[in-house]
Chains A and B, each alone.
Chain A
Amino acid sequence: MSPHTNHASRGAMWLRLLTGGAHPVHDWTTVHACDAILAGRPARYVAVVPDPDNAFPRARNGEVGLVEGWRLAQAVREVIDMDRDSAAKRPIIAVIDVPSQAYGRREEAYGIHQALAGAVAAYADARQAGHPVIGLIVGLAMSGAFLAHGYQANRLIALDDPAVAVHAMGKASAARVTLRSVEALEKLAASVPPMAYDIKSFASLGILHEVLQLTNLALPDEQDIALVHGALEAALADILEDPRRDLSSRLRGEHRGASRKVRALLASEWEAAD
């Protein structure tokens, strides 16, 4: 995962393709919020994009840093405010391509955890207030960056693409922290589904709503764009039919048996504990 590869522009590309090139509503350099139509209604699309001139040097390749966390919060809270007195809550689409959170001394010093909490709270508040929130994974969805941008969505959709990955930590750091070699880590990842980096293994956890097969990943054609639009519309319809505004739709997968068992146990013991 070299910081200088061009993967980071995928988020910007899909934001452009899905909104018909709508201009961002703010002049923010690393968080772009664009308003466009989805299924005949106004919607907000949000992406984190690289800025090689970012004042914070550890957040120049599309990482979610201090400013990005707080800007994401603002981009989402604006939508909550716009529809505060309206029964119709406009959808929010997080276009996800985030290589990581920003790893740096400045970031820790000024509380990057708090900035990312700002983004998480905004997305969770939006979903719980009734805004349909869809996360569209078009590139990397790594760790704290993914928690801040997209993981609070009602539904998650991913492109089936070798450049798409979801994980808690980059391989080199994960190896260091768990006292393993990168080779040993990769070997384990092949047999332990939650440890794998590829999107098919992630899909086996039951957390994704849909995985999309495109024909032209690097340069999506009209058909590909229509396919993604269709998937967003279908996810929106699915959310609108579902009375639940929590994340329980993610608990149905075959590899989430323990998550279900623990919740059932807690529920059965909860009232008896009074």
Chain B
Amino acid sequence: MSIDSLLKRDSFIERGARSRAQALLDPGTFRELAGPFERLHSPWLAMQNLVTQADDGVVVAKGKLAGRPTVVLAIEGAFQGGSMGEIGSAKIAGALELAVSDNERGIPTQAVIVFETGGVRLQEANLGLAGIAEIQSAIVALRRHRPVIGISAGTVGCYGGMSIAAGLCSYFVMTREARLGLNGPQVIEQEAGVAEFDARQRALIWGLTGGEQRAATHLADACVDDDTAAMRDTVIALFAQGVPLVPRSDRAQDFLTGLERVDTSRQATPQDVRRIYSKGLAQ
């Protein structure tokens, strides 16, 4: 990006969850459901004397995208690291379940999920995990009818059980600043030692799990600039492709064929992954 375009661009990353949902939907069509005035504060955070938020960090917005009925589920990374508690995950799962019902009665509602999340909110541990299982079930049910598009823009990234939900999406869009992985670097360092993963090495983290690498290795469908219009255009273009013939999550044999070629005696480099996944996974 040139300096001029940098100054003029409309950053998607810098927007909060509500503003992202508004920007994705067609102008004037945004309607928030189970919004902050419903005061859906997490009972479990309150019990631990932790700060709650009236929307529990998830925005459910219904509207149109390029004229099509769409629900946007945007996670607010600035609240509790975008972690999923009981209420936030019920908002996402519940909305996806309603979109499934729409499709079953002939209304082709589609969904966008904006992932800005560290995964389960550990203060609500098992209810967060249960909620994520319900989100995953609903994504699988909905993606048969209409695409479910995932976005991870940054800067929190997409981790934990929600990265598995990301892997269920029909299409996944990232920016260079975003990261997508199951286990965060800190947790790997804690569980496996600093030799396995040094959580301070930023270049290593982005090199392996950043948006550019994920798109280059076919684990994401697009890596777009941090520009709101570019993000919206990309999402519209992916919806126009319709339901993929075989979702990425259903390509077990392709991935296993790649994994058989991995030299597991040494650590992986970003180049290794590009080499291994350049064969067989390109569509």
Residues of A at the B interface (CB closer than 8 Å) are 55-58, 66-67, 70-71, 73-74, 77, 100-101, 103-118, 120-122, 124-125, 127-128, 143-144, 146-148, 151-152, 166-170, 172-174, 176-178, 188, 191-196, 202, 205, 207, 246-247, 250, 255-256, 258-259, 261-263, 265-267, 269-270, 273-274
> Which one of B127, B129, B138, B272 lies within 8 Å of A255 (CB-CB)?
B127
Report yes or no: B186 in contact with A176, Cβ–Cβ below 8 A.
yes
Q: For A124, list chain B residues within 8 Å (CB).
A: 136-137, 140-141
Q: For A146, list chain B residues within 8 Å (CB).
A: 129
Complex formed: what's the CA distance from A265 to B130 in Å?
Answer: 20
Report yes or no: A117 in contact with B122, Cβ–Cβ below 8 A.
no
> Which one of B90, B180, B182, B259 lies within 8 Å of A262 (CB-CB)?
B90
Complex formed: what's the CA distance from A220 to B29 in Å?
Answer: 60
Q: Shortest distance in angstroms between B16's beta carbon and chain A's nearest beta carbon?
A: 21
Is B270 positioned at the interface, with any CB of A under 8 Å from its CB? yes
Report yes or no: B250 in contact with A118, Cβ–Cβ below 8 A.
yes
Report yes or no: B133 in contact with A262, Cβ–Cβ below 8 A.
no
> Which one of A67, A106, A109, A168 lies within 8 Å of B125 (CB-CB)?
A168
Known contacts A128-B141, A166-B126; decide if A114 and B219 are in contact (CB<8 Å): yes
> Which one of B94, B118, B188, B264 lies within 8 Å of A57 (CB-CB)?
B264
Can you list 13 contacts pairing A with B, beta carbon distance less than 8 Å?
A67-B256, A67-B259, A103-B188, A104-B196, A111-B255, A113-B182, A117-B166, A128-B140, A144-B160, A147-B133, A170-B191, A258-B43, A263-B94
Is B87 positioned at the interface, with any CB of A under 8 Å from its CB? yes
Within 8 A of A (CB), among B232-283: 247-253, 255-256, 258-259, 262, 264, 267-270, 272-273, 276-277
Q: For A193, list chain B residues within 8 Å (CB).
A: 126
Known contacts A56-B264, A192-B44, A274-B69; decide if A259 and B34 are in contact (CB<8 Å): no
Report yes or no: A110 in contact with B268, Cβ–Cβ below 8 A.
yes
Residue of B87, B182, B191 contacting most chain A CB atoms (<10 Å): B182
Per-residue A-contact encoding for B143-167, CB less than 8 Å = 1, 0 else: 0000000000000000011011111
Q: Shortest distance in angstroms between B21's beta carbon and chain A's nearest beta carbon?
A: 13
Report yes or no: A195 in contact with B125, Cβ–Cβ below 8 A.
yes
Known contacts A263-B97, A273-B62; decide if A258 and B123 are in contact (CB<8 Å): no
Complex formed: what's the CA distance from A202 to B122 in Å?
Answer: 15
Q: Shortest distance in angstroms between A41's beta carbon and chain B's nearest beta carbon?
A: 24
Q: For B188, list chain A residues within 8 Å (CB).
A: 103-105, 108
Report yes or no: B133 in contact with A151, Cβ–Cβ below 8 A.
yes
Report yes or no: A121 in contact with B125, Cβ–Cβ below 8 A.
no
Complex formed: what's the CA distance from A118 to B182 in Å?
Answer: 13
Report yes or no: A205 in contact with B168, Cβ–Cβ below 8 A.
no
Report yes or no: B128 in contact with A177, Cβ–Cβ below 8 A.
no
Q: For A104, list chain B residues within 8 Å (CB).
A: 188, 192, 196-197
Q: Shortest distance in angstroms between B94's beta carbon and chain A's nearest beta carbon?
A: 4
Across the two chains, which residue of chain B brings its CB closest to A120? B136
Within 8 A of A (CB), among B5-39: 31, 33-34, 38
Residue of A121, A152, A207 contacting most chain B CB atoms (<10 Å): A121
Report yes or no: B141 in contact with A176, Cβ–Cβ below 8 A.
no
Report yes or no: B187 in contact with A177, Cβ–Cβ below 8 A.
yes
Is B98 positioned at the interface, with any CB of A under 8 Å from its CB? yes
Known contacts A58-B196, A103-B188, A194-B127; decide if A169 and B120 are in contact (CB<8 Å): yes
